[in-house]
Structure 1
């Protein structure tokens, strides 16, 4: 089987895969952010990399090293910036890094690029970076870039039936799933050695108002940083989620890049 991790390829092998095989390059995007007392700070990058690797194996693709720093953690979906260990970048910096990296992949000859996002707060800054890079590559609108780019959040590829299996008592919504059943189950599937089941907090779900407030109201956020309980997480649920997400992303990229 072809190696899928870009950092493990020589530049010659990478060039051949990109130019001769027109391999899809997948760029995982995560964050360094608290995920409660039971999951590691690098959960977002670890999961987006694991999903990207599963997808790459199905497509014959290449997984680039992940973006390990993401946009600032928000209280209502990530707990917020006040937790020790959460280490974030300004939105413009993330956009400009994305812009640079997309242009570099284009310079390599990559024609099919997919950003696999695992940190909710990243999405619009990744989009901005992609759009700026595509504008740069279009030579002020005089031609269409050869590079095609897809940006996605992996959780959007979960279907209702799978969510019903994972959440038999009802799905609380993606925002409250920070460090909860989905991420904990997927970490148990991919990186069980990094999960501390005994440290899962047993708290009620966070109850946020329908607005944001500045300076941040840290009192809104549970002290653990977990927005809803991870009790009920399991490796089996993680396997259901991982298998569905990776297969559906692979199918979507095949369809999108079919004529690229």
Structure 2
């Protein structure tokens, strides 16, 4: 049946959508991902996964529409490297809240953010509550997978739980989705092994810490992309799409 896209509908068609239709908004980023990945990595992964999940959910008769993905988000942790285009936290917050307000005036009552960039997480969760409080929408915030620095696991043991940016997982995803944009000849291991000496502070540990990507070396990525494969990327992508389709179905009927 194809992907039900919000932008393909007319105003009367939008007004006629079922009351519990879920609007899905991918949140990507345009930011450096080391010498081997394009700056579009987070935008590509978020938009591709959201599109596939929306198509899958719609095929199971879940009322859902796909909004155009937001490419520019909060990427200032990568500000020291060329190619990063970021919005300030307050600009992005106002943008997300304004989108929620606009959807409410169109009769949309449920909004799911599909996030492809870990740096958006805290702000996105605050935005969800703000949109809920001010405009009454049911709001949800989902990742393709739990980010490593927020308690997820690295996809390669050699990353020591620190494959947070441009490592094995993201590189594998891009080898599956956009192999022509990946430069594996430039992929090198960049794992800050000294962080393993800290019991409480670190990526995915009880105490988080503020960081910028230049804290960890000259290349901008944090992880080990050298063993990435398209096969692993496909497995990760397919699992993410299935999970997101299930999230959309739950968001459609969710009531606290």
Q: Do the aligned residues in 1 keep the contact of 2:32 with 2:83 (CA within 8 Å)?
A: yes
Query: 1-side partners of 2:12 and 2:115: how far apart?
Result: 26
| Counterpart for residue 145 of structure 2 | 155
Total equivalences in the alignment:
235
Cα offsets for 1:121-165 (capped at 9, x unmatched) = 11121222222222222xxxxxxx3x321111221299xxxx79x
TM-score where L is the length of structure 1: 0.79
Task: Determine whether 1:252 maps to 2:247.
Answer: yes
| Counterpart for residue 205 of structure 2 | none
- 1:4, CA displacement in angstroms? 3.4
Task: Determine whether 1:4 maps to 2:7.
Answer: no
Query: 2-side partners of 1:217 and 1:85: how far apart?
Result: 13
Q: Give 1:161-180 correspondences, 5 Å limit.
A: 166-167=155-156, 169=157, 172-173=160-161, 176-180=163-167
Q: Do the aligned residues in 1 keep the contact of 2:110 with 2:138 (CA within 8 Å)?
A: yes
- 1:176, CA displacement in angstroms? 2.8
**Alignment RMSD, CA only?**
2.8
1:87 corresponds, among 85, 88, 109, to 85
Alignment CA distance shift 1:13-1:224 (3 Å) = farther
Q: Do the aligned residues in 2 keep the contact of 1:55 with 1:247 (CA within 8 Å)?
A: yes
| Counterpart for residue 140 of structure 1 | none
Q: Do the aligned residues in 2 keep the contact of 1:53 with 1:63 (CA within 8 Å)?
A: yes
| Counterpart for residue 59 of structure 1 | 57
Cα offsets for 1:13-72 (capped at 9, x unmatched) = 8516x6148542210112111001111111111111111011101111322111211213
Task: Determine whether 1:183 maps to 2:170.
Answer: yes
1:235 corresponds, among 214, 226, 230, to 230
Alignment CA distance shift 1:249-1:191 (3 Å) = same
- 1:236, CA displacement in angstroms? 0.7
Q: Do the aligned residues in 2 keep the contact of 1:176 with 1:227 (CA within 8 Å)?
A: yes
Alignment CA distance shift 1:171-1:23 (3 Å) = farther
Aligned-partner SS, 1:155: coil
> Gaps (5+ residues) in structure 1?
75-79, 138-144
Q: Do the aligned residues in 2 keep the contact of 1:27 with 1:113 (CA within 8 Å)?
A: yes
- 1:245, CA displacement in angstroms? 1.2
| Counterpart for residue 205 of structure 1 | 191
Q: Do the aligned residues in 1 keep the contact of 2:75 with 2:87 (CA within 8 Å)?
A: yes
- 1:182, CA displacement in angstroms? 0.7
Query: 2-side partners of 1:247 and 1:52: how far apart?
Result: 10
Aligned-partner SS, 2:142: strand
Alignment CA distance shift 1:22-1:185 (3 Å) = same
Q: Do the aligned residues in 2 keep the contact of 1:92 with 1:125 (CA within 8 Å)?
A: no
> Gaps (5+ residues) in structure 2?
59-63, 196-200, 202-207
Q: Do the aligned residues in 1 keep the contact of 2:190 with 2:221 (CA within 8 Å)?
A: no
Aligned-partner SS, 2:227: coil
